[in-house]
Amino acid sequence: MTSQMPADLVRHFLTALADGDVDGALVDVHDDIVYTNVSLPTVRGMRRFAPIMRKLNSPRMGFDVQFLSVAADGAVVLTERLDELRIGPLRMRFWVCGRFEVRDGQITVWRDYFDFVDFTRGLVRGVLTIPLPRLNRTFDGVGRR
């Protein structure tokens, strides 16, 4: 648990995930976390949440983030981001809007929304660049801080 402002806590959490520091990210999350990636089933509790985050940072999978904007109103933090998911050689980037709730210095709710058209475009672009990986630029930490 930290004494960071809610927006700083959310930035730290997502940046730690992107850096592969899952344990550092999970410190920012409450045991009773409610995680919803809209259109997918809601995940409740650290016991179910932590394995998902660990899988996102396994040798064959990865995550990166570029913050476009972050706004807070009290304990509620909104993020507009470009997320990158990596599965083997596939890198797909797409727009995401996230809503976080922070209580007692930990994230209690994380809800992500995304546009399926933009997600599909990112998937197609990622597949097309597999044979030419130099065309698929990485974020290289741009926009994280």
Q: Which one-letter DSSP state was computed for residue 131?
A: S
Query: How many angstroms separate the Cα of 15 from the Cα of each of 11, 53, 127?
Result: 6, 13, 25
Active site residues: 83, 112
Judge whether residue 142 has pLDDT over 60. no
Q: pLDDT digits over 21-66, tens only?
A: 999 999 999 999 999 999 889 999 999 999 999 998 888 999 999 9
Is residue 139 included in any domain, yes or no? no
**What pTM did the predictor assign?**
0.85
Q: pLDDT digits over 82-108, tens only?
A: 999 998 888 889 999 999 999 999 999
Positive or negative, the CA dihedral 123, 16, 97, 95 is negative
Alpha carbons within 13 A on the beta-carbon side of 34: 8
The residue segments making up the domain with residue 81 are 6-130
What is the CATH classification number for the domain harbouring 83? 3.10.450.50
d(CA 46, CA 52): 10
Give me the chain's average pLDDT, please: 89
Is residue 144 included in any domain, yes or no? no
pLDDT attached to residue 1: 47
- Contact predicate 111/97, CB 8 Å: no
Is residue 71 included in any domain, yes or no? yes
pLDDT attached to residue 138: 61
